[in-house]
Amino acid sequence: MVNQTVIITAGGIGKRMKSDLPKQFLVINSEAVLAHTIKAFYKYNNNIQIIITLPKDWLSYWNEYIDKHKFDVEHVVVSGGIERYDSIKNALEIATGDLIAVHDGVRPLVSQQTIADGFEMAQEKGNAIPTFPIKESIRKVVDNQTESVLRKDYLLVQTPQVFQANQLRKGYEIGFHHGITDDASLVEEAGFNIFVYAGNEENIKITSPIDLILADHLLKK
């Protein structure tokens, strides 16, 4: 197996969660959301390099959590930057993997199959982005009006987004701009074709109280 790294971004401060505690530290099924996420990648490969990006003001909180709960999955923590872009750039300085995944710390329900498929496709094609079809009807806003569009033409994008290291590093040679929506868009801007595969429906991003309830229920199952 080639050397693998996962950069888990956990820089959010939870404004939409309406909690004083950032969402990555909220407890579901007896553990912090971030702890569940880390364990998912360790379960997939116990030799994977795990890098966590955290807000500087919350580094001590995470260290205390580790000590209190005897959380012993090996990982490295780097201080997050102003933007998610800056946080990942900091993490890339110490990433050693030939394949590098970037995953949202608040997606604890990523399946082992989704992780494995991502690394396998990235090794073969250069990158791999998990997606899921849209179920609801959608409309596009045009000049303060809306118009119907075909949902089959669109996909929901998940993480982990996995890249051969040279592709991701090339993408991060591009300076930050607000048009960057995810790592795939940056790598695409660097001139690489992006390849997608089927993610898992449970792989939700926890951003609101209802997401937290759903994730807790699914983890208990």
Q: Report pLDDT digits (tens) over 18-55.
A: 567 999 999 999 999 999 999 999 999 999 999 999 99
Report DSSP state, residue 176. P
Q: How confident is the model at residue 17 (pLDDT cuts 50, 70, 90)?
A: low
Query: And the tokens for 75?
Result: 């990982």
Rounded to whole angstroms, the Cα distance separating 187 from 167 reads: 6
Q: How confident is the model at residue 15 (pLDDT cuts 50, 70, 90)?
A: low
User: Using an 8 Å Cβ cutoff, are 90 and 76 in contact?
Assistant: no
Q: State what percent of residues in the chain have pLDDT above 90.
A: 91
Q: Is the pLDDT of residue 70 over 60?
A: yes
- Residue 88: predicted pLDDT: 96
Domain 4-220 has CATH 3.90.550.10: yes
Rounded to whole angstroms, the Cα distance separating 41 from 55 reads: 21
- Residue 99: predicted pLDDT: 98
Average pLDDT of the chain, as a whole number: 94
Q: How confident is the model at residue 16 (pLDDT cuts 50, 70, 90)?
A: low
- Residue 20: predicted pLDDT: 79
Mean pLDDT, range 126-139, rounded to an integer: 96
Q: How confident is the model at residue 221 (pLDDT cuts 50, 70, 90)?
A: confident
User: Using an 8 Å Cβ cutoff, are 55 and 13 in contact?
Assistant: yes
Report DSSP state, residue 102. E
Mean pLDDT, range 101-121, rounded to an integer: 98
Rounded to whole angstroms, the Cα distance separating 218 from 213 reads: 9
The full set of domain ranges for the chain reads 4-220
Q: How confident is the model at residue 164 (pLDDT cuts 50, 70, 90)?
A: very high
